[in-house]
Amino acid sequence: SQQGEEDPQALSIQEGENATMNCSYKTSINNLQWYRQNSGRGLVHLILIRSNEREKHSGRLRVTLDTSKKSSSLLITASRAADTASYFCATDKGNEKLTFGTGTRLTIIP
Partner 1 sequence: DGGITQSPKYLFRKEGQNVTLSCEQNLNHDAMYWYRQDPGQGLRLIYYSQIVNDFQKGDIAEGYSVSREKKESFPLTVTSAQKNPTAFYLCASTGRFYGYTFGSGTRLTVV
- Which residues bind to partner 1, rule: CB under 8 A? 1-2, 4, 33, 35, 40-46, 48, 88, 90, 96-103
Distance CA 69, CA 2 (A): 17
Min dist. Cβ of residue 20 to partner 1 (A): 19
Please, what is the minimum distance in Å from the beta carbon of residue 104 to partner 1?
11
Minimum Å gap between C-beta 12 and partner 1 is 16
Q: In this structure, are strands 85-92 and 98-100 parallel, antiparallel, or unpaired?
A: antiparallel
Nearer to partner 1, 15 or 99 (CB): 99
- Please name the residues in contact with 99: beta carbons below 8 A apart, sequence gap of 6 or more: 1, 2, 3, 4, 90, 91, 93
Cβ nearer to partner 1, comparing 18 with 38: 38
Closer CB to partner 1, 67 or 102, in the complex: 102
Selection from 7, 107, 87 nearest residue 47 by Cα: 87
- Residue number with CB closer to partner 1 (60 or 105): 105
> What distance in Å separates the CA atoms of residue 22 and residue 89, rounded to the nearest whole number?
9
